Amino acid sequence: MLQTNPFSILAETISPLAMQGFVISMIILIAAGTIIQMIHHKNLTYFFNNVKKAKLSATKKLGIGEKTSIIAKTTVVDIGTTSELGFGKRRLAHVLGMYGTILFWVSSSVLVFAYTGPGKLNSEIWSMLWHIGAIFTCLGGYWFWFFLRVDVSAEAHPWYRIIRADLFVLALLACATFGLGWSYTQFNGQVGLSFLFFTLFVLANLVLFGGVYWSKFAHMFYKPGAAIQKNLKKVDGSRDNLPPPADAPEQFGLGIKREEPKHY
């Protein structure tokens, strides 16, 4: 199953052009939802105003080399490894989910555009990456959903409590879960179940990409920019108009050692 391209088998009943059109439509939905959200919430205005304030309060002018170095380090360390979460279960779950999702989306596009259609060969590697990406997404996502969410682990809310902010993670988990279910039932010739899982897979994608405006999907684009801006401010001395760090060592008292910090 892992080495089988589910989209190639689907091409026997649905045109590859229709599948490619669906992928392009999802990309358009992402762009449209993000742009509309930025305009409505004025995120870009806030970001550029912060940049202007930082320039006025900066104590050091950064050269192109310094800026490039900071941006590269932030991208690799802060963004690429979600270092803001520290070492522990939350970081591991986020890394699994993040890279699993990227792998799932990229391999989906590659399989649909390059390996689905008449005369096109199967790619066992990309098919495996598609399944592995979906599995990693489920591992990181379900681990986060059931055990690591702040409102569950720190605020004692039940795991099944759902609010609008959960739209992104739930739709993403539905895509990966139904995608794996579709691939498994299709591979085993279970036509009825395969059709059901495929329908749910398509609906989950529509909710995920069509709900960008209402979900936290667009945060994937905001957070890297915010992290880069934050690190630039640290070096140029603007520091969001906050005072510099105190010379005295941090003293929290013995109480901080009594339990693992989880009250966010």
* pTM recorded for the entire structure: 0.76
Count of Cβ atoms closer than 10 Å to residue 197 Cβ? 22
Q: Check whether 219 has a pLDDT greater than 60.
A: yes
pLDDT band at 201 (very low <50, low <70, confident <90, very high): very high
Distance CA 212, CA 245 (A): 38
Over residues 233-245, mean pLDDT: 67
**pLDDT for 254:** 61
Contact by Cβ (8 Å): 219, 82: no
**Maximum distance among all Cα pairs of the chain, rounded to whole angstroms:** 70
What CATH number does domain 6-236 carry, 2.50.20, 1.10.3470, 1.20.950, 1.20.1550?
A: 1.20.950
**pLDDT for 85:** 63
Distance CA 147, CA 220 (A): 22
